[in-house]
Amino acid sequence: MFLNIKNATIGYTSPLIRDVNAGLDTGEICLLIGNNGAGKTTLIKSILHQIPLLGGGIFLDNKPVEQMTSQEIAEKSAVVFSKADIPANYTVYDLVALGKFIHYPYYFELRDEDKAAVSEIIENLGLQVYRDYPLNRLSDGNLQKAFIGRALAQNAPMIILDEPTTHLDEENKIMILKLLRNLARTRHKLILFSSHDWRLAKEFSDKIWLVRDQQLTGGITEDVLIRNRDLIDPHLFHVNDDYVAPAILAPDAEKEMLYSFLQKNMQKDLSAFTFQFQDGSWFISGNTRQQKCNSFAEIAKLLQNHDGFSI
């Protein structure tokens, strides 16, 4: 087990997460999820020994992190935080290349193979057009990708990313997540990343670490979600206190979208209705009648205006 956490209590002066026992090996990609303030970033900083543990131990490649120098930890792990200082006068190439210097003295000249690796990373991240751009001229999304590039250039066995898809559009989120999964598989990297876009990110992760109520629950992604069904229940996003949901018989994606639409637009009790999705259409039953609708606009019109479906 490359990363091994044993009976660890994590926090500052008081615990945020208690009695953590979890581990990950190289070749695995793990999604870290939890509410804001639950302790995700504190956990990451504890793994890197930037914050001392309140109890227990954390081991990297079988060595306690408190016995490792900063150089040793940096050789074992690369990290990207969601907020980072922008180095003055650096270009994209300079920032990505900085990841290579963890292995050399600051005055060392990069070798040709190092320079080639940096150029390949920049291309894989879709940043070749911005290669020589100053960092302060980049969009938030491209800046985030450049910092990810620096971590990739470091070529450590473990890569930790705190909200790596922040500021990215959907296409770039998927590109980054595919890249991380490919690194885990083909280069046998351990990838640990946190994300608020967990519904997307879970499709790329082997395992989930869920931080909740001062506990960390870990396991295969699907097992953790099945044991914590509220995470995949659309009621999690309930924002309309006057809305009572109908019965919805549909695949998960359609069910979630209908729930979202109805609770935003319908103000009353819909428990007398049944919605069934079949062959691309919705069949709505209310009282003794059934109607077919092909869009959410048709559903709204039906529920608001039809006598037999008055609400």
CB 180 within 8 A of CB 29: yes
Radius of gyration of the chain measured on its C-alpha atoms: 24
CA atoms within a 13 Å half-sphere pointing along the CA-CB vector of 281: 9
Pair of tokens at residue 302: 């039906």
Pair of tokens at residue 55: 């109890």
| 187 contact partners, CB below 8 Å, separation of at least 6 | none
CATH topology of domain 234-309: Rossmann fold (3.40.50)
> What is the C-alpha separation between 18 and 218, in angstroms, rounded?
14
The helix-helix angle for 252-265 and 296-305 (nearest 10°) equals 40
> What is the C-alpha separation between 258 and 233, in angstroms, rounded?
13
Same fold, 3-229 and 234-309: yes
Find how far residue 266's CA is from the centre of its chain. Answer: 32
> What is the C-alpha separation between 121 and 179, in angstroms, rounded?
10
Sign of the C-alpha dihedral computed for residues 142, 143, 147 and 149 taken in this order: positive
| Long-range contacts of residues 177-184, Cβ cutoff 8 Å, at least 24 apart | 177/201, 177/203, 177/204, 178/204, 179/124, 179/125, 180/29, 180/204, 181/29, 183/152, 183/159, 184/27, 184/28, 184/29
> What is the C-alpha separation between 211 and 43, in angstroms, rounded?
10
CB 118 within 8 A of CB 153: yes
> What is the C-alpha separation between 264 and 262, in angstroms, rounded?
5
Q: Output the furthest CA–CA distance in the chain (Å, rounded).
A: 81
Sequential pLDDT tens for the chain (311 residues): 999 999 999 999 999 999 999 999 999 999 999 988 999 999 999 999 999 999 999 999 999 999 999 989 989 999 998 777 888 889 999 999 999 987 776 667 888 999 999 999 999 999 999 999 999 999 888 998 999 999 999 999 999 999 988 878 888 888 889 989 988 999 899 999 999 888 888 888 999 999 999 999 999 998 998 888 777 765 555 556 677 888 999 988 888 888 888 887 776 788 888 999 999 999 998 776 788 999 988 888 888 765 445 44
- Domain ranges for the chain, please list them: 3-229, 234-309
Q: Which CATH code is given to the segment(s) 3-229? A: 3.40.50.300
Q: What is the DSSP string of 251-277?
A: -HHHHHHHHHHHHHH--SB-TT-EEEE
